[in-house]
């Protein structure tokens, strides 16, 4: 494989999800650069570490956990005392040694737990992928739909399938890294499919993959669904006693998924791997992808049609 893949996450560089992803991509022949937080940084969105220094470390000590071949591709491992967005900015903005190759694609994950619907507003996994998009390279966020995983093999299989299709579209050397053309460099094409492919190449959209436990191999092309966390705050201790301070716990007593056709959370509940095409930029930004164009990416069955090159 000739594409170089940058890997990050928000569960930390030694989390089992990123370990499975690195091993799987290595076995598939991809050149790999890892730059990830040195500890768990979940729910950090696109948090940036400002006004203080960060520590960047080469982590060759972790190579022993991988099954490496004498003739296999190279792997470079780094961690940083920051967040997923810090990690991606470091890797794409000159923070790594000069002999590290330029990544063709960024993958954030495999995350422990889903990132669907409202989750994307808080997710550090999403934040890493979206940061790569703002820097001008294609990106994927990938997650497994359980907080108690002991096997990432299905999520890895779905991710590798998606990467294969993406690498058939994107160039080995990114054409928009650093966004030197600013908002003048916009995705264009003779039709919607070409425009969306170019939007991915330029980093103006990114892909969000969520894989259910026990996945049987079917994909669904989705949009963001409607997911509600009920009873999000728990008061610890006796809340009938009057006091000036108390402990609270953020979580959810229950989660409600609305059965919205082609919604990501609903499709995952049906056992389908959800593939959503998300805009990197907020509405109103000069590079924001139109709602009309994004609406064409949630057709339901299979992988997005614009992502599959006709054989």
What pLDDT sits at residue 244? 76
What pLDDT sits at residue 311? 46
Kindly indicate the confidence band of residue 104, based on its pLDDT and cuts at 50, 70 and 90. Answer: very high
Question: Average of pLDDT values for 125-154?
Answer: 96
The two structure tokens encoding residue 189:
């094409």
63-67, 225-229, 248-252: segment of lowest average pLDDT: 248-252
Question: Average of pLDDT values for 116-141?
Answer: 97
Beta strands in the chain (DSSP E): 4-8, 31-37, 56-58, 75-80, 105-112, 139-144, 205-211, 219-222, 227-230, 233-235, 248-250, 254-257, 273-279, 300-301
What pLDDT sits at residue 9? 98
Burial classification of residue 208, based on how many CB atoms lie within 10 Å of its CB (0-12 exposed, 13-18 middle, 19 or more buried):
buried
pLDDT digits (tens, 9 = 90+) for 149-169: 889 999 999 999 999 999 999
pLDDT digits (tens, 9 = 90+) for 177-206: 999 999 999 999 999 999 999 999 999 999
CATH number attached to the domain at 4-224+260-307: 3.40.1210.10
Q: What share of the chain is helix, strand, coil (3-state, %, to 5)?
A: 30, 25, 50
What pLDDT sits at residue 239? 67
What pLDDT sits at residue 255? 84
Cβ distance 44 to 127 under 8 Å?
Answer: yes
- Separation CA 37–CA 23 (nearest Å): 18
Extents of the domains making up the chain: 4-224+260-307, 228-256
Enter the pTM of the model: 0.95
Which of these, 194, 167, 53, lies nearest to 106 by C-alpha position?
167
309 pLDDT above the threshold of 70: yes
- Separation CA 130–CA 120 (nearest Å): 10
Using alpha carbons only, how large is the chain's radius of gyration in Å? 19
What is the torsion angle, in degrees rounded to the nearest 10, for the CA atoms of residue 74, residue 75, residue 78 and residue 82?
A: 120
What pLDDT sits at residue 1? 56
């Amino acid at each position: 494989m000739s594409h170089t893949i940058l890997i990050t996450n928000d569960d930390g560089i030694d989390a089992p999800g990123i370990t499975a992803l690195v091993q799987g991509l290595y076995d598939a022949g991809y050149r790999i650069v890892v730059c990830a937080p040195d500890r768990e940084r979940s729910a950090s969105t696109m948090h940036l570490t400002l006004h203080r220094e960060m520590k960047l470390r080469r982590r060759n000590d972790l190579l022993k956990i991988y099954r490496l071949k004498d003739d296999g591709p190279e792997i470079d491992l780094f961690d940083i005392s920051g967040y997923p967005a810090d990690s991606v900015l470091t890797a794409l903005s000159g923070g790594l040694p000069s002999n590290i190759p330029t990544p063709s694609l960024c993958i954030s994950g495999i995350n422990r737990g889903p990132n669907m619907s409202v989750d994307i507003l808080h997710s550090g996994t999403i934040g890493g992928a979206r940061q790569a998009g703002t820097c001008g390279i294609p990106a994927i966020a990938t997650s497994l739909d359980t907080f108690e995983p002991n096997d990432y093999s299905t999520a890895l299989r779905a991710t590798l399938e998606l990467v294969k299709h993406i690498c058939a579209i994107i160039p080995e050397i990114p054409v928009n890294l650093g966004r030197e053309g600013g908002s003048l460099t916009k995705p264009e094409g003779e039709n919607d499919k070409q425009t969306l492919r170019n939007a991915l190449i330029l980093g103006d959209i990114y892909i969000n993959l969520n894989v259910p436990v026990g996945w049987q191999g079917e994909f669904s092309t989705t949009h963001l669904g409607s997911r509600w966390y009920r009873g999000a705050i728990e008061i610890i201790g006796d809340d009938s006693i009057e006091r000036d301070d108390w402990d609270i716990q953020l979580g959810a007593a229950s989660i409600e998924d609305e059965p919205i056709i082609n919604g990501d959370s609903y499709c995952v509940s049906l056992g389908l791997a959800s593939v959503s095409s998300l805009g990197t930029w907020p509405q109103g930004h000069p590079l924001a992808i139109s709602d009309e164009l994004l609406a064409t990416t949630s057709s339901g069955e299979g992988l997005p049609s614009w992502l599959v090159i006709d054989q």
